[in-house]
């Protein structure tokens, strides 16, 4: 049985860059997995293409990557997961409750709602309540 993972924007789009160290380090988390995306990841990737002024070939490559993945729907359970997670993060002092992390909040809540791991290279997800995080960041305390 093929497992599904939700992939955060920076890991997902790293596959578009030639010889990307980020893509290389996360390949083990993606190989043989069904790739799912939160709508925020699709929007962030498309915005990145527009703001960078990419040519047609690179835009088409992104489109093909998105089409091969499964963009998960925003349903009432996802909306409830966002509200619950934001409140829990506020109560525990986790940074995902802050407005500047709204897209990340939705991405984490999408993974929680669908009960799938999140593959991400962003420290904001570390310690997120209820989130199964797969990362190559060194999140161990130092000193």
The H helix count followed by the E strand count for the chain is 6, 5
Look at residue 134 and tell me whether its pLDDT is greater than 90. yes
Which tokens is 98 given?
């802050």
Q: What is the pLDDT of residue 58?
A: 87
Residue 138 pLDDT grade (very low, low, confident, very high; cuts 50, 70, 90):
confident
Which tokens is 39 given?
């709508």
For the chain, what is the mean pLDDT? 93
Which tokens is 112 given?
């929680």
Look at residue 140 and tell me whether its pLDDT is greater than 60. no
**Average pLDDT in the 96-121 region?**
97
Highest-confidence segment of 9-18, 60-69, 131-140: 60-69
The rounded distance, in Å, linking the Cα atoms of 128 and 16 is 28
- CB contact at 8 A, 114 and 81: no
SS3 call for 72: coil
Say which DSSP state 136 is in. -
Q: What is the pLDDT of residue 141?
A: 44
Cα-based distances in Å from 20 to 14, 62, 88, 121: 6, 15, 35, 13
Residue 16 pLDDT grade (very low, low, confident, very high; cuts 50, 70, 90):
confident
Q: What is the pTM of this model?
A: 0.92
Residue 139 pLDDT grade (very low, low, confident, very high; cuts 50, 70, 90):
low
Look at residue 142 and tell me whether its pLDDT is greater than 70. no
């Amino acid at each position: 049985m093929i497992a599904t993972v939700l992939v955060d924007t920076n890991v997902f789009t790293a596959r578009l860059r030639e010889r990307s160290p980020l893509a290389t380090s996360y390949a083990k988390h993606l190989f043989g997995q069904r790739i799912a995306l939160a709508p925020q990841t699709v929007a962030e990737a498309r915005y990145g293409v527009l703001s960078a002024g990419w040519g047609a070939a690179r835009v088409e490559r992104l489109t093909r990557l998105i089409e091969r993945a499964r963009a998960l729907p925003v349903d009432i359970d996802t909306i409830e997961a966002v509200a619950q997670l934001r409140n829990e993060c506020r109560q525990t002092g986790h940074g995902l409750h802050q407005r500047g992390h709204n897209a990340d909040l939705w991405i984490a809540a999408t993974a929680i709602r669908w009960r799938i791991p999140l593959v991400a290279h962003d420290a904001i997800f570390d310690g997120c309540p209820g989130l199964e995080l797969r990362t190559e960041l060194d999140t161990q305390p130092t000193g």
